[in-house]
Amino acid sequence: MNFWHDIEKPIIGLSPMDGVTDASFRLVAARHGRPDLCMTEFTSVEAICCGADGFVRDFAYGECERPVLAQIYGRTPEAFYQVAHVVCELGFDGLDINMGCPAKNVANKGCGAGLILNPRLAVTLIRAARRGIEDWAAGQRLEDIGLAPDVLERVRSMCHGQRWEEERRTIPLSVKTRVGYDRVQVDEWIPVLLDERPAALSVHGRTLKQMYKGLADWDAIARVVELARGTGILVLGNGDLKSMADVVERVRRTGVDGVLLGRGAMGNPWVFRDKQWAKDALARGTEFDAATPEVSQEERTRVLLEHSRHFEGLWGERRFPAMRKHLAWYCKGFRGAAQWRARMVQARNAAEVAHIVRAG
Ligand SMILES: Cc1cc2nc3c(=O)[nH]c(=O)nc-3n(C[C@H](O)[C@H](O)[C@H](O)COP(=O)(O)O)c2cc1C
């Protein structure tokens, strides 16, 4: 089953952000914004296969996020093969391979955007992941692919008693990348990926060298659309979209099949709220007007509390400091926001957040 084709175009999804779009934020986004799809934060296949337990957190998700994709990165084909089985077993709707991360500790090891310099390995990794998906769908058991016993045990503990004896299916594979390494290399790099026939290609309009600086190059993304034309492979554009008005404008100009929004959703899970109006405006060729009013301070506060409680429930008080950046992002755009922010970023748990809110 391929969920990609069931979503009304343009697809408007939440871009994965390590340290930000965890299961807790994705739940809040799903409830208050409803993006068309979500992805996990990127997760190292090598770390999973070495027995690191971080993936239990990374691969946690809730039903309301569906369709939800697991995003992985790495450079070892065997690990891609094994982790593809894990992703299928855990019930994800799709598998996305990160070939866009510019962080030194990722790209310098030849992973993430580092793969733009090594297209042969990129192809090998895609094929290994696809073989993993297909073998799993054909009935291969996790016990028989050489996973370490403790990894197997962790996966089993996450499966919530799911059984796959009857209904195994292949899930679609997609790739998220950038427009080049140190310059726009769309004409060399993108055809390599298209030849592997992913279901979708998400393209951030910056090079690795740009990191997050400058502006995303939407002309380069438009060129990707041209290259993919007639292949049936969906192209999702990404970079600097902050509102549904931005989405309408970029989709109109480039013809992308969809978009991903990342930083625009920080402290703003509501950014997706008007997506149906955006789709309607695009379908009818009419002007887009934001349909819903600005988010009130009351709603901000309610969601900030909901997010805090959910975060603590999922990850425990010990990890609460990781919630503080979200609190700071929520505290914007209303009178007294700066004072709240200063107190929120010291909160040690959800009860303290509630206390700050009550104190006003
Ligand atoms: C803090 C942070 C973490 C990110 N982590 C990931 C990641 O895990 N996987 C990924 O594919 N992209 C990651 N990205 C890139 C975003 O998904 C997105 O491509 C980029 O931010 C551009 O889109 P935007 O302008 O809408 O934010 C990250 C970006 C940021 C800012």
Instruction: Using the mean position of ligand 1's atoms as its centre, give its distance from the Cα of residue 260 in Å.
Output: 9
Question: Ligand 1: which residues within 6 Å by Cβ?
Answer: 15-20, 41-42, 71, 98, 100-101, 176, 204, 238-241, 261-264
Atom of ligand 1 nearest to the CA of 261: 26
Strands (E), 248-287: 258-261
Phi, psi of 28 (to 5 degrees): -60, -45
- Please write the tens of the pLDDT for every residue from 202-232: 999 999 999 999 999 999 999 999 999 999 9
Task: Compute the distance between CA of residue 74 and CA of residue 83 in angstroms, rounded to an integer.
Answer: 11
pLDDT value, residue 161: 56
pLDDT value, residue 159: 80
The 10 Å Cβ neighbour count of residue 159 is 14
Name, in order, each residue with C-beta under 8 angstroms of 166's C-beta and a sequence gap of 6 or more: none
Distances (CA, A) of 25 to 76, 297, 327, 350: 30, 19, 11, 15
Instruction: Using the mean position of ligand 1's atoms as its centre, give its distance from the Cα of residue 276 in Å.
Output: 24
What residue ranges do the domains of the chain occupy?
A: 3-284, 297-359
Instruction: Using the mean position of ligand 1's atoms as its centre, give its distance from the Cα of residue 161 in Å.
Output: 33
- Please write the tens of the pLDDT for every residue from 161-211: 566 666 899 999 999 999 999 999 999 999 999 999 999 999 999 999 999
pLDDT value, residue 119: 98
Kindly give the residue spans of alpha helices, DSSP state H, lying in 71-185: 77-89, 104-107, 119-137, 149-158
Kindly give the residue spans of alpha helices, DSSP state H, lying in 183-288: 186-194, 218-228, 244-254, 275-284
The 10 Å Cβ neighbour count of residue 324 is 17
Amino acid residing at 165 = E
- Please write the tens of the pLDDT for every residue from 42-79: 999 999 999 888 888 999 999 999 999 999 999 999 99
pLDDT value, residue 262: 98
Average per-residue pLDDT in the chain?
95
Over residues 131-146, mean pLDDT = 96
Tokens of 204: 């951030």
Share of the chain above pLDDT 90, in %: 91
pLDDT value, residue 338: 94
pLDDT value, residue 35: 98
Name, in order, each residue with C-beta under 8 angstroms of 152's C-beta and a sequence gap of 6 or more: 142, 143
Protein residue with least CA distance to atom 30, ligand 1: 17
Phi, psi of 307 (to 5 degrees): -65, -45
Assigned fold of 3-284: TIM Barrel (3.20.20)
pLDDT value, residue 54: 87
Q: How confident is the model at residue 360 (pLDDT cuts 50, 70, 90)?
A: confident
Q: Report CA Rg, the chain.
A: 20
pLDDT value, residue 83: 98
Protein residue with least CA distance to atom 15, ligand 1: 17
Atom of ligand 1 nearest to the CA of 241: 26
Protein residue with least CA distance to atom 23, ligand 1: 239
Residue 178 in 3-state DSSP?
A: strand
Atom of ligand 1 nearest to the CA of 264: 26
Name beta bridge partners: 97.
72, 175
Residue 274 pLDDT exceeds 90: yes
Residue 255 pLDDT exceeds 60: yes
Q: How confident is the model at residue 291 (pLDDT cuts 50, 70, 90)?
A: confident
Tokens of 171: 């899930």
pLDDT value, residue 164: 64
The owner of tokens 């969601």 is 303
The answer to whether 100 and 86 are in contact (CB under 8 A) is no
- Please write the tens of the pLDDT for every residue from 95-126: 999 999 999 999 999 999 999 999 999 999 99
